[in-house]
Amino acid sequence: MKKLIDLNLEGKRVLLRVDFNVPLDQDNNVTDDTRIQASLPTIKLLKEKGAKIIILAHFGRPKGLVNLEFSLQPVRAHLEKMLDESVVFIQDVLQDTAVDQSLSLQNGQIALCENIRFYPGEEKGNPEFAVQLAKLGDIYVNDAFGAAHREHASTAVVAKHFVGNSFFGLLMDGEVAALDKIFSEGQSPVTAVVGGAKVSSKIDILKNLMPKVDNIIIGGGMAYTFLLAKGGKIGNSLVEADKTDLALEILEEAIKNNVEIHLPVDSKNAATFSNAAISEITTADAVSDGFMGLDIGPKTIELYSEVLGASKTILWNGPMGVFEFENFSEGTKAIGKAIGKASKSGAFSLVGGGDSVAAVKQFGLEDEVSYVSTGGGAMLEYLEGKVLPGIAAIRNQS
Ligand code: AMP
């Protein structure tokens, strides 16, 4: 598959879809520009190549209506500061003037279009709307991994008008390569660490991973439903009592697939759901009455770290406990460190989907693991085995 880096883009109009859905404060200042930073390498590469860059992005949920509360103007101002240059603003992508603006850009100059979700055709994936968008570029580049699970006009449908001229941006390319390293090229043993609150929200992930991994390490609140299903005493721990059959089904499926499922052997429990709670450490199947398991215990940390130390490919989704409480963060932190250590010894590790990314950042482990995904919902859907339309629209052309 041809890559962006190989193209001659001098004077070409590149329609670039990014994820600039950043948080703003009351004065419209961007409070966290991680998502913009993530697409800067692509923007800079396009500038170096002399492309005319027309950026499409969404912001918030204006539900197909023009609502200036969701204008991308504040993001434009922030981008201008980051790049130290002015950015043209395209107010309405449906006007002929938008096409004129795209054509009159200097090579290397950038234009940002107003919030693409101001148009009802965007989220509906409307083909006619995609035709209008396609008029703004000669080449389409998708760098919005965070929106890759949406079959919207600007994230997927528009690619049909750029057959042979649709490419991943550098961020998207990195995300896809990291996923391939886990799922297609992953060296054995492959270990998935799955944690978080509920079994019900991770069930599709567990089922999808089953034929692809050697080990599944389970932690967090969801572990207690498994422990209960196996006859353990779990006190007041978070549990989905109606999901014990499902938990047993997963354990059986693991045996059939030759996958080893690792469950906690001990548990750090609290008398109340608070950082300052009185705590105890018990075996995982003997949580005291009135106590709730909020973290994996020290023996579990040791066992899980050993499995991770012997792994060559590691995927991590979901914390091992209530890491937001310092007194119950040890398990998540230790597992993050063990993944970091394994990565240093040559394993490939990918952290993705929601709270485990927050945990990695909280513990300053971003540089210890091999890859931290930027796409919460998109990553989760990929892990559940769903096709991501944003990726498929480009990959299926080649
Ligand atoms: P998820 O979004 O499903 O990955 O869940 C993440 C949330 O699960 C975090 O906010 C954790 O605090 C929470 N969590 C992890 N372990 C436990 C536990 N043992 N009991 C209750 N909540 C937990």
Give the active site residue among 11, 50, 60, 354: 354
Q: What is the mean pLDDT of residues 91-114?
A: 98
Q: Is any ligand 1 atom within 6 A of the Cβ of residue 275?
A: no
Residue with CA closest to ligand 1 atom 21: 221
The rounded mean pLDDT for the chain is 96
Cβ contacts of residue 144 below 8 Å, gap of 6+? 17, 18, 19, 39, 57, 155, 172, 390
**pLDDT on residue 353:** 80
Please indicate whether residue 376, judged by its CB atom, sits closer than 6 Å to ligand 1.
no
Contact indicator for 102, 136 with CB cutoff of 8 Å: yes
- Ligand 1 neighbour 322 (Cβ under 6 A): yes
Spacing, Cα 126 to ligand 1 middle (Å): 38
- The per-residue pLDDT for range 3-28, each reduced to its tens digit, is 999 999 999 999 999 999 999 999 99
Is the shortest distance between the CB of 221 and ligand 1 below 6 Å? yes
Percent of the chain with pLDDT over 70: 100
Asked whether residue 306 carries a pLDDT value surpassing 70, the answer given is yes
Residue 386 has pLDDT above 70, yes or no: yes
If DSSP codes are grouped into helix, strand and coil, which group holds residue 295? Answer: strand
Average pLDDT over residues 64-90: 97
Residue 52, pLDDT score: 98
Distance CA 122, CA 155 (A): 9
Rg (CA), the chain: 23
The predicted pLDDT at position 59 comes to 97
Q: Which of 12, 13, 17, 35 is catalytic?
A: 35
85-92 mean pLDDT: 98
| Residue-level pLDDT at 396 | 86
- Which domains are seen in the chain, by residue range? 4-168 (3.40.50.1260), 176-383 (3.40.50.1260)
Minimum CA distance residue for ligand 1 atom 3: 196
Mean pLDDT of 339-364: 94
- The confidence score (pLDDT) of residue 283 equals 98
Q: Tell whether ligand 1 has an atom less than 6 A from the beta carbon of residue 232.
A: no
35 is catalytic: yes
Chain Cα centroid distance, residue 300 = 27
Residue 95 has pLDDT above 80, yes or no: yes
Closest ligand 1 atom to Cα of 220:
16
* Mean pLDDT to the nearest integer, 320-342: 98
The whole-model pTM stands at 0.91
Q: In Å, how far are 58, 81, 125, 157, 310 from 142, measured between CA atoms?
A: 13, 23, 15, 11, 36
Overall average pLDDT of the 27-48 stretch: 96
Nearest CA to ligand 1 atom 12: 322
Q: Report whether residue 238 contacts ligand 1, using a CB cutoff of 6 Å.
A: yes
Predicted pLDDT of residue 165:
96
Lowest pLDDT segment from 48-52, 214-218, 370-374: 370-374
Kindly report, residue by residue over 145-160, the tens digit of the pLDDT. Answer: 999 999 999 999 999 9
Segment 265-290 shows an average pLDDT of: 98
Contact 171, 42 (CB under 8 A): yes
Decide if pLDDT at 228 tops 90: yes
Does the active-site annotation cover 64? no
Which one is catalytic: 198, 207, 233, 299? Answer: 198
- State the pLDDT at residue 398: 58
- 219 in ligand 1 pocket by Cβ < 6 Å? no
Q: Which of 50, 233, 377, 395 is catalytic?
A: 377
Q: Residue 368 C-alpha to ligand 1 middle, in angstroms?
A: 23
